[in-house]
Chain A
Amino acid sequence: MTQIPLLEDETLLDRLQHAAFDYFLHTVNPDNGLVADTSRDDSPVSIAVVGFALSAYTVAVERGWMKRAAAIQRCLAALRFFRDSDQSGSSTATGFKGFYYHFLDIRTGARVWRSELSMVDTALLIAGALTASSYFVADSRDEIELRELVEFLYRRIDWRWAQDDADTIRQGWKPECGFLHYGWEGYSEAILLYALALASPTYPIARDCYKAWTATYQWENLYGYEFLYAGPLFTHQFSHAWIDFRGIRDRFMREKRSDYFENSRRAVYIQREYAMRNPHEFAGYDENCWGLTACDGPSDERPDMSNETRHLFGYAARGVPYGPDDGTVSAPSVLASLPFAPELVLPAVRNLIARYPETFSEECFASGFNPTLVDKNGRAWVSAGHYGLDQGIVLMMIENHRSQLIWRLMRACPYIRNGLHRAGFRGGWMRRSTRDGAR
Chain B
Amino acid sequence: MPQRNDASLVTPRDAYECTRLANLHPASWNNPKPAGPYELVIVGAGPAGLVAAETAAALGAKVALIERHLIGGTCLNTGCVPSKSIIRTSRLYAEMADATRYGAQIPDAIRVDFAATMERVRRIRTHLSGSESIRRLAAAGVDVFFGHARFVGVNALMVDDAKLSFKKALIATGARPHVPSIPGLKEAGFLTNEKIFDLTELPRRLLVIGGGPIGCELAQAFCRLGAQTTIVQDKPFFLPMEERDAAQILSDAFARDGIEVRLNTKALGVRVEAGQKLVDLISDDYRNTIAVDAILTGVGRAPNVEGLNLEAAGVDYEAGNGVRVDDFLRTSNPHIYAAGDICLEHQYGHTAAASARIVVRNALFRGRERWSALIIPWCTFTDPEIAHVGLYVREANRQGIPVKTFTIPMHDIDRAVADSEETGFVKIHVKEGTDRILGATIVARHAGDMINEITLAMVAGIGLRTLARVIHAYDTQAEAIVKAAHACNRMHPKPTTKRQQLKP
Contact = CB atoms under 8 A, between A and B. Distances in A.
Q: Say whether A associates with B.
A: yes
Interface of A: 114, 174, 176-177, 180-182, 185-186, 214-222, 224, 226, 229, 231, 255-256, 277, 279, 311, 321-324
Contacts of B151: none
B493 to A, nearest CB: 14
B284 A322 contact: no
A180 B284 contact: yes
Nearest to B429: A218
A219 B405 contact: yes
A255 B432 contact: yes
B284 A174 contact: yes
A311 B255 contact: yes
B411 A185 contact: no
Contacts of A177: 282, 284-285
Contact of A220 (B264, B422, B427): B427
A284 to B, nearest CB: 17
Contacts of B366: none
B394 A215 contact: yes
B400 to A, nearest CB: 10
Contacts of A324: 252
Contact of B411 (A216, A217, A226, A279): A279
B411 A181 contact: no
Contacts of A217: 393, 397
A152 B491 CA distance: 50
Contacts of B422: 279
Contacts of A215: 394, 397-398
B314 interface: no
Contacts of A224: 487, 490
Nearest to B282: A177
Interface of B: 235-236, 244-245, 248-249, 252, 255-256, 264, 282, 284-285, 393-394, 397-398, 402-407, 409, 411-412, 417, 422, 425, 427, 432, 487-488, 490-491
The interface centre, meaning the residue of A215, A216, A224, A226 with most chain B CB atoms within 10 A of its CB, is: A215
A114 B285 contact: yes
A208 to B, nearest CB: 12
Contact of B249 (A176, A186, A220, A322): A322
Contact of B285 (A174, A277, A279): A174
Q: What are the 9 tightest A-B residue pairs by CB atom distance, in nearest-first order?
A: A176-B285, A279-B411, A215-B397, A220-B405, A177-B285, A222-B407, A321-B409, A220-B407, A177-B284
Contacts of A323: 248-249, 252
Contacts of B249: 322-323
A185 B244 contact: yes
Contacts of A214: 397
B402 A255 contact: yes
The interface centre, meaning the residue of A181, A214, A217, A218 with most chain B CB atoms within 10 A of its CB, is: A218
Contacts of B432: 219, 255-256
A221 B487 contact: yes
Given A181-B236, A277-B412, 17 more contacts: A114-B285, A180-B264, A181-B264, A186-B244, A214-B397, A215-B394, A216-B394, A218-B405, A220-B406, A220-B407, A220-B427, A226-B491, A277-B411, A279-B411, A279-B422, A322-B425, A323-B252
A221 B397 contact: no
A226 B404 contact: yes
Contacts of B427: 220
Contacts of A220: 404-407, 427
A321 B427 CA distance: 13
The interface centre, meaning the residue of A114, A221, A323, A324 with most chain B CB atoms within 10 A of its CB, is: A221
Contacts of A229: 405, 407
Nearest to B427: A220
A226 B490 CA distance: 12
B57 to A, nearest CB: 47
Contacts of A180: 264, 284
25 contacts: A114-B285, A174-B284, A174-B285, A177-B284, A181-B264, A181-B284, A182-B236, A215-B397, A219-B405, A220-B406, A221-B491, A229-B407, A231-B245, A255-B432, A256-B432, A277-B411, A279-B411, A311-B252, A311-B255, A321-B407, A321-B425, A322-B409, A322-B425, A323-B249, A324-B252
